[in-house]
Structure 1
Amino acid sequence: MTLWGHLERFAFIDLVNFVNNQTGTLSLGEAYQGRTLEMYLVKGKLRTLHADGFRIQEQMRVREIIYTLISQYNGKFEFDNRRLRSECDFWLDMDLAQLLTQAAQDTMIPENELPRPHDKFVDACLAKPFADLVQSDALQDKWQQIQPYLGWGISAAELTGQLFYSERELRVTLHRLLLAGAVLPQPKLSERLPVLGQIQSVQGRAALPAKRSADAKPGCRLSKSWRRFTRSLH
């Protein structure tokens, strides 16, 4: 069976739901940065992904491409289930419907509500277990991955170098963790400097009298002692 058409008339996620139980190759013309994508699906699982014939192996890149398809793509497609491939050619094992559902939910959050890429967050040190506050297994899983990096504060941009998620995914995750009360924004250095300046100023004023006493000349102290001694003789 070969199925083809144009995605201007219906959404990409609807196409995936239609072929979800099929095994075959889904081609999308100029779908990502002007490149043609080719996905091999096995009963809803994404097993291979090529862009203009080149392998896309990193899961973070795969997720980024899925986000792009959800939000932007409306080009031509073709699905062919006549050419089967051997399992030895597979390098991915990702649930495409789950990826699309998550991406669709994330794209519904307005951009201006998300933290900026370099906004840092720290652990809020919850009194209750995180699982008691959030029922989403996906968010609980991401929390377990992100929490070890929160000790000194970390941003979505920095987390992309540590975890296999796109920057937008991590911004969305930090946004949801913030709403759950699991993380707190880390104060910026510019916000901490006035407080540090006040502390240093108070410390400086408190130490000033002791410094003046220490700076007194030895000759002055000796002359005062001599005058007290001579008075005692009269």
Structure 2
Amino acid sequence: MRTVVADHLRAAGCEVQQFADGADAWQAIRERMPDLLILDRMLPGLDGDELAVRIRAISSVPIIMLTALDGLEHRIEGLEHGADDYLGKPFSLRELQLRVNAQLRRSSAVAPLGFTAGRFRVDPEHRRVWSGEREIALTTREYELFLYLVRNPDRVVSREEILREVWQWGFGDASTVTVHVRRLREKIEPDPRIPSFLHTEWGAGYRFTLQEVPA
């Protein structure tokens, strides 16, 4: 399956390296960070979850989990370990290609001007965010979610809207949004247990406020 995927992506114009185990992949990633990583959770030696955690400690490179572990809890675990997207086996090579293209577009998109929103400063050209003087390390998907919320302040947005506008999915598992909101809170909130910016509106969705007011 790894060879089939690699051949398909090469035919689509991608430069591809493939590895049979996590340790070899980690060594190669440390030497040269790829533009995107397709990662199986069940790898020999260094498993995919641990590899994702290590990568997230040094990079926001997009990660697509591609695995037979497709249950709800497995998807949530994969996202919590740092994946931006999750595709279960069996899968369509066409769907995988579309998800790869979407992740690469997001990670390479360039917006012209930076802006300030409350205590946050955003540099869209380099996809960087600061809270005061502290830079916040966000993954590609976390950055897209943050950008959508900060551009829609004080408005309740549903998980379905976020899936549609940020993930560009017409349908999907809304728990994906829940996981990313939790991860985003851990990075932008002074105390994620008592959100000051990203509030849950029970039964409706989420509301982002630029005023630092505890829920």
Q: TM-score scaled to structure 1, two decimals?
A: 0.30
Which structure has the higher relative contact order (CA within 8 Å, separation 6+)? 1
Q: TM-score scaled to structure 2, two decimals?
A: 0.32
